[in-house]
Chains A and B, each alone.
Chain A
Amino acid sequence: MGEQVLPFYLVCDESYSMQGEPLDAINQELPNIYHEIASNPVVADKTRLGIIGFSAGAEVLLPLADLNEVQSLVQLTPRGATNYGAAFSLLRATIEQDIRDLKQAGHTPFRPTVFFLTDGQPTDDWYAAHQKLISPDFRARPTILAFGFGDVQPATLRQVATFRAFIADGDLSPAQALREFARQLLNSVVQSAVASASSSNGALMAFPEQAKGYTVLAAEPV
């Protein structure tokens, strides 16, 4: 088949504190994200989206998909604690398998991009799982952009991110924070697909530099 594929993963906190306004907001944004990606043919032809939700454990809610081949919409639901380690372990295993599957099908996958969203501090010891995910030994290690609002600490976000982190300003409502996150994810997917059209090597990623209502934080190694 031999297609060029830009993989994107949305990794979203489903802890109890996300219940109500935050998850409602993202669930409202998801159909728009699907539609924008699927209906822009330049984007649809070369990007795929996967969704992982995490709380006490982690779950693949949408396996990496060409959004024109997806029948039903994912809905995020509030569940339990905030286990970053489970998210990172699942993400690593998922990315490894997805990239292997794409290559096996004869495609050319590019380095995945992860948009990570959380509203609170982790309730576990997650460093080891995170290290495995971003280690140079992991050939398909993703570029991670971390977004946070609510109770999460800037320092935590900076450690999670590999490229850049964003912390919501105090006066941003959770719904606004979520909508802006969704907008940044969509923009990155679309702009990356467009820029990649005429770039050497076939991929030129576009990552957010600023997000409305968020303060930008540089990524920092753990």
Chain B
Amino acid sequence: MEQSHGSARPEPTASVPALSEPPLSASAPPEPPAPVPTIPEPAVIGRRPMLRSDPGGLPALHADHPGRPDSELDGATLPGLVVRAASIRGDAHRYYGTPRQDAMGLWQTGEAQLLACVADGLGSQELSYLGASLACTSACRNINVFHAYSDLQTAAEYLIEGIADALVRQALKHEVPADALSTTFLAAVVDQDTDTSPHRARLMRVGDSTAFLLHKGIWSECFGKKSGEETIADSATHALPGGTGHVEVAVADLEAGDMLLLCTDGIATPLARNNEVGDRLSAWWSQAEPPSLPEFFWQSSFRAKSYDDDRTAICVWRV
């Protein structure tokens, strides 16, 4: 249905004599035009960035790759779970016309389980966006390997080895070194509705993409920090396919009202370093109802000065 947008209606012609009866319909006052909704700009948290939040040049892509849109949006309503997922090109990549190197995926697997994946291609490797995409799709293809093992660490290692193999094969096919497809990888296998609460999420990762639990408005890290052997700086730099020796696992139990966030460092870094960002995301994502898809995309597009990396967030609410 057309909106009038407040534009002028055409003037009636003056050829009809004023004495004639006006049509009955003219006696009722016309409906006022419905107000046009104003869509707000993305929220600015802190000082206004100089860097605009605007898609720039279209990225030059590898001949075999079908395309790399600026953003991806996904979601689902499953028994006991509501999911919202967004992967958004960083403002620096937009400015330089380079591709989004983050990727994500959501699948229903097995009997009643959700598989959610995020991946962050290494900034310095031009083709890493291929690696990130492939890591996610490969996890879905090989998920049965994961289910074959009851020990979480073992199951995760087998699944991730399979992903690494897929990356190596792809690199060979493109005649590039395996490193060229370097990517982090993080996945969660979440139980859908069970008769008992809570819903268990089994998490696995290589690299610095990470998971948080939002419980009663408070963020907590799902992967504990290792003490001793590995410094924080070391664990941040692992990636597939080379980093199969650095698989970490964790478990998170979602009570009613809890939310599990899987994200790349484009979200994790400002969440950790900027209190306002943490507070704002907590406020948005602790409402009685999870946001709609457009609302979630708007929320995930917040702007914070100096944080211009690709960002990917998958939010899983236990409802």
Which residue of chain A lies nearest to B273 when distances are taken between CB atoms in the complex? A108
Which residue of chain B lies nearest to A193 when distances are taken between CB atoms in the complex? B92
B258 contacts partner chain A, Cβ-Cβ < 8 Å = no
Q: Given the complex, which residues of A lie within 8 Å of B144, measured CB to CB?
A: none
Given A2-B277, A4-B273, A108-B273, A199:B51 Cβ within 8 A: no
Q: Given the complex, which residues of A lie within 8 Å of B95, measured CB to CB?
A: 41-42
B49 contacts partner chain A, Cβ-Cβ < 8 Å = yes
The 0/1 profile, CB within 8 Å of A marked 1, for residues 263-292 of chain B is 001000110011111000000000000000
Q: How far is the CB of B54 from chain A (nearest CB, A)?
A: 11
Tell me whether A194 and B47 are in contact (CB under 8 A): no
CA distance A42 to B229 in the complex (A): 36
Query: A198: which of B52, B123, B207, B237 is its contact (CB, 8 Å)?
Result: B123
B50 contacts partner chain A, Cβ-Cβ < 8 Å = yes
Binds A, one of B23-31, B241-249, B307-315: B307-315
**Restricting to B76-115, which residues have a CB under 8 Å from any CB of A?**
90-93, 95-96, 101
Tell me whether A2 and B50 are in contact (CB under 8 A): no
Number of B residues near A (Cβ < 8 Å) is 36
Q: Given the complex, which residues of B lie within 8 Å of A108, measured CB to CB?
A: 273
Given A42-B95, A201-B236, A4:B307 Cβ within 8 A: yes
B15 contacts partner chain A, Cβ-Cβ < 8 Å = no
A71 contacts partner chain B, Cβ-Cβ < 8 Å = no
Tell me whether B92 and A42 are in contact (CB under 8 A): yes
Tell me whether B101 and A198 are in contact (CB under 8 A): yes
Q: Given the complex, which residues of A lie within 8 Å of B91, measured CB to CB?
A: 42
Q: How far is the CB of A58 from chain B (nearest CB, A)?
A: 30
CA distance A124 to B92 in the complex (A): 45
CA distance A202 to B304 in the complex (A): 14
Q: Given the complex, which residues of B lie within 8 Å of A199, measured CB to CB?
A: 123-124
A200 contacts partner chain B, Cβ-Cβ < 8 Å = yes
A220 contacts partner chain B, Cβ-Cβ < 8 Å = no
Describe A's contact surface by its main secondary structure. mixed
CA distance A107 to B150 in the complex (A): 44
Query: B123: which of A42, A68, A106, A197 is its contact (CB, 8 Å)?
Result: A197
Q: Given the complex, which residues of A lie within 8 Å of B93, measured CB to CB?
A: 197-198
Tell me whether A198 and B305 are in contact (CB under 8 A): no
Q: Given the complex, which residues of B lie within 8 Å of A194, measured CB to CB?
A: 92, 96
Which residue of chain B lies nearest to A202 when distances are taken between CB atoms in the complex? B269
Q: How far is the CB of B106 from chain A (nearest CB, A)?
A: 23
Q: Given the complex, which residues of B lie within 8 Å of A106, measured CB to CB?
A: 274-275
Residue of A42, A108, A199 ringed by the most chain B CB atoms within 10 A: A42
**Restricting to A167-222, which residues have a CB under 8 Å from any CB of B?**
194-195, 197-202, 204
Query: B310: which of A1, A3, A44, A198 is its contact (CB, 8 Å)?
Result: A198
CA distance A197 to B264 in the complex (A): 13
Given A45-B51, A194-B92, A198-B90, A3:B306 Cβ within 8 A: yes
CA distance A195 to B270 in the complex (A): 17
User: Which positions in B face A, CB cutoff 8 Å?
Assistant: 46-47, 49-52, 90-93, 95-96, 101, 122-124, 207-208, 233, 236-237, 265, 269-270, 273-277, 304-310
What are 5 sample pairs from A and B whose C-beta atoms fall under 8 A apart? A42-B308, A68-B50, A198-B309, A199-B123, A199-B124
